[in-house]
Amino acid sequence: MKFKKLIALAAIGFAIAVSSGVSTTSAYAAADGKKIFKKCIACHKFGKNGIGPDLTGIVDRKAGSMKFKYSKAMMAKAGEGLVWTEANLDAFLKKPKKFIKKTRMSFNGLKKESHRKALIEYLKTK
Q: What is the pLDDT of residue 4?
A: 54
Question: Does the residue 10 lie in any domain?
Answer: no
Question: Does the residue 19 lie in any domain?
Answer: no
Question: Does the residue 7 lie in any domain?
Answer: no
Angle (CA) 114 116 79, round 5°: 150
pTM: 0.76
The total domain count for the chain is: 1
Question: Does the residue 115 lie in any domain?
Answer: yes
Work out the average pLDDT over 96-118. Answer: 94
Q: What is the pLDDT of residue 23?
A: 43
Question: Does the residue 102 lie in any domain?
Answer: yes
Q: Domain with 71 in it: what CATH number? A: 1.10.760.10
Question: Does the residue 36 lie in any domain?
Answer: yes
φ/ψ of 18, rounded to 5, equals: -65, -45
Instruction: List Cβ neighbours of 81 (8 Å cut-off, separation of 6 or more).
Output: 62
Mean pLDDT of all residues in the chain? 85
Question: Does the residue 39 lie in any domain?
Answer: yes
Helical spans, DSSP H, in the chain: 2-19, 26-36, 72-79, 86-94, 96-99, 113-124
Instruction: Inform me whether the pLDDT recorded for 99 exceeds 80.
Output: yes
Work out the average pLDDT over 52-69. Answer: 96
Containing structural domain, residue 70:
25-124
User: What's the CA gap between 61 and 63, in Å, rounded?
Assistant: 6
Instruction: Inform me whether the pLDDT recorded for 64 exceeds 60.
Output: yes
The dihedral sign for the CA sequence 48, 49, 50, 55? positive
Instruction: Inform me whether the pLDDT recorded for 34 exceeds 90.
Output: yes
When pLDDT is cut at 50, 70 and 90, the band that residue 24 belongs to is very low
